[in-house]
Chains A and B, each alone.
Chain A
């Protein structure tokens, strides 16, 4: 299969998956208790008003008509209006994307910067104290619920040590960069960094632990292969062998797993944002759930699904570029 064909197939599959997500969300809304018009207007609305809204929103149409209206809206990027704030859902989703993206990227950076050296050290010094330390750390990392970790970090580093602020962040990355460009001041950037540190550690710990484990086991496998012995016999410095050849070969499966774990990252972001009152998509999703604001809830979930599917297509493309055999499956 050529790369082009492979990509077309993956994209078609992705579209199918997103259609599935949209349909499931519609189904959930259809079977959920509570009349949408009443939810929209709140308790105490007159029967007339409710009837008017039902008519206006097409809630009196047969279910399949509602489904196709809804699907049509999604296709052209019209996610409807929030029941609570009456704002456009697309706008409410988009405005929250940067904060979540900043958090996810910061967490991934934390994870990669700590995990890869840790995994390498662990694999090359097997059964030595540093290996046991790294193993213990990664075991704790995958076993600690991130909301609890976040609270303990707030308590230890925020409240007791006073190193980090614990309130809602006053400035986003975009504003911080604007200050830098316009006034040449890194002050806002510093504040931004202070506020993102604890959430990034909270969200990143699980991934740090996961990548450490993957790097260690991948490296251990690779180090046992004949080419490593051969390069050593040739007299290549072991640092070069480890980082250039062995690590590169170890990275391929790690990238795939990370792609698959994007869903976990999004789930973790929901929790982390709740703990730190971080103004991202996850916090908005929880608000929407609490308020039973279906259009907003659906909009956020469908958006997350689209992001997840797209990232996985990119990961698959990268993977098949690195290893053409997978296209033949």
Chain B
């Protein structure tokens, strides 16, 4: 377990070094994306339209934040914990291929398709403590911009965030075929009969 403080844009060679159980703290730019955001960005790419920001230079955060307006052009993040990432499994391999996002942050881990794309194109998945929404919000220094707010609504919009020491994030999918969540599940499944036999 090594602790890394990464600055965006994170380079491919930097993420290729990472291994499962490593701890990350991110400083720089992050964008939020949930189901609708993924769909929107992939559709734009397919139609040859330019995105209003560059996902390859930022860290992606699976998050539907609770944000309120401080003044007419200033936002305040109230709570911003991670959402369940597996919902994005249907989009993520394509997204990584098209946009080369290097670090994806979420909750609960992702599946085989994403893991394969991460190995091939050079990206990692890092888990943020589920529900630790205030801790996350405090690491967000500024809401830089928001896209598709009217169209997609607050949780699904793409929020561009400026973060400082955002973490701790645990690498659970690396570029070397490691998947910590799957490892833990396989471990408990393999000992299931033994555990059941412990019950009187």
> A and B, one complex?
no
Interface residues of B (CB under 8 A from A): none
Interface residues of A (CB under 8 A from B): none
